[in-house]
């Protein structure tokens, strides 16, 4: 992600279809967004990515606590106007980067309990439910639980084998 991407990412992030599933519910202003970007780009263990398909940006991915052969937390959202199936494409590209380029051992994620699309996407990508943080986050005036997921490099490698290839 580059500074030139800030207006696009801010528009995605503030769109109700994205924002309603975020821990921070308020509409983010440009100055707050710039400050977040400045802090993030100075954080050596954080990666901010724009995923592109056919030269068009389709979504945003963030990896935190990146360390060689370590475990990283990820977060993501797609362009709210993107075609159906974009989330899986974004997830696949991001995980290929995580296990290939970043050499991670594990990717961890969380989804708010009412975000059924994110929960289903994690499961389609091979993540395993590792737990639930009960009533962990106050969202839209109510305490909500967070579903915790993990995906190991070994599980990702196995799920990416071509059909018919021996294990």
Residue 100 belongs to some domain of the structure:
yes
pLDDT for res 161: 55
Q: What tokens appear for 5 in the block?
A: 């991407």
Count of domains in the chain?
1
Q: Is residue 64 included in any domain, yes or no?
A: yes
> Would you say residue 8 lies in a domain?
yes
* Residue in 152, 68, 140 with CA at minimum distance from that of residue 107: 152
The answer to pTM > 0.85 is: yes
Residue 121 lies in a domain: yes
Let me know if residue 165 belongs to a domain: no
Q: Which of 125, 54, 123 is nearest to 88 (CA)?
A: 125
Domain span at residue 72 reads 3-159
Asked if 71 contacts 106 with a C-beta cutoff of 8 angstroms, the reply is: yes
CATH of the domain at 141: 3.40.630.30
**What tokens were used for 147?**
């579903």
Q: Convert the pLDDT of each residue in 88-141 to its tens digit.
A: 999 999 999 999 999 999 999 999 999 999 999 999 999 999 999 999 999 989
């Amino acid at each position: 992600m580059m500074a030139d991407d800030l207006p696009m990412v801010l528009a995605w992030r503030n769109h109700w279809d994205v924002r309603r599933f975020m821990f921070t519910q308020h509409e983010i202003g440009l100055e707050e967004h710039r400050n977040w970007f400045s802090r993030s780009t100075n954080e050596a263990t954080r990666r901010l990515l724009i995923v592109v398909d056919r030269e068009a940006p389709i979504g945003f991915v963030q990896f935190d606590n990146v360390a060689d052969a370590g475990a990283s937390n990820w977060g993501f959202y797609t362009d709210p106007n993107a075609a159906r199936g974009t989330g899986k494409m974004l997830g696949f590209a991001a995980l290929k980067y995580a296990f290939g380029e970043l050499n991670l051992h594990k990717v961890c994620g969380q989804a708010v309990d009412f975000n059924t699309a994110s929960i289903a996407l994690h499961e389609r990508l091979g993540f395993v439910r590792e737990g639930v943080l009960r009533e962990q986050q106050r969202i839209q005036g109510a305490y909500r639980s967070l579903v915790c997921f993990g995906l190991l490099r070994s599980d990702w490698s196995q799920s990416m084998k071509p059909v018919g290839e021996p294990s």
